[in-house]
Amino acid sequence: MRSLMFPIRHMFIALMLGTMTLVPMGADASSDKAKDLARVEQKGLKSTGENRLNELLVQPAAAKGSVKFSRSWIDAQPKATGSAQWRCLAEALYFEARGETVKGQFAVAEVISNRVKSARFPGSICAVINQGTGKKYQCQFTYTCDGHAEVIAEPQAFARVGKIARLMMDGKVPALTEGATHYHTTAVNPRWARVYTRTTKIGVHLFYRHTWRTASN
């Protein structure tokens, strides 16, 4: 049935397009023909359905490799929504990196994603972000255990990082940090940074990955 309906649907669309193209709309077209054409168009649009029309008009999602690290590009993307895991990532980006460049925010999101993939850390975004929460200043992400209320006071900034979280979770972003699982700002110099491998600097953050030790080294 599907193999028959697919060409029929396209024949209908082609018929509509052909009708719209071939009917003359210049001096030779009568008002009756114009009205008939309008009725055909309205009938076709009505039969297509509102939901389908909305789908056709929605801006397509970004393809992998097409991401641009600029606020103007991010702001032009569709509003992002998602699950509780998406919300956790968006909040982490908001409280940890909303003052960073767009590329820096993507890099922080990548670190969280890398932790989820690592056996050394919990296996979900929310679990990674909330690891150690409950012990003041002993958590992995300070905003979750600093004793201050987590208030989103900048809706536009949150909407932006929400889009970044969505793109990261959908696998649309090229790798930026060479597998980093840690980062810190250039304003501090934590002891652990001396034993991990620094991979890159993006914005005001330095990124690191574990220094793996094996029998061969």
* Residue 32: partners with Cβ closer than 8 Å, 6 or more residues away: none
pLDDT of residue 211: 74
Query: For the chain, what is the mean pLDDT?
Result: 78
Sheet holding 182-185, edge to edge: 182-185, 205-209, 197-202
Residue among 58, 45, 97, 80 nearest 168 (CA): 80
- pLDDT greater than 80 at residue 216: no
Instruction: State pLDDT tens for residues 24-63.
Output: 444 444 556 656 655 655 665 455 454 443 433 344 445 5
Band of pLDDT at residue 210, cut at 50, 70 and 90? confident
pLDDT of residue 146: 85
Tokens of 77: 């993307």
Q: Which residues make beta-bridge pairs with 183?
A: 207
Mode of pairing for the β-strands spanning 205-209 and 197-202: antiparallel
Mode of pairing for the β-strands spanning 197-202 and 182-185: unpaired
Higher pLDDT, 144 or 163: 163
Band of pLDDT at residue 132, cut at 50, 70 and 90? confident
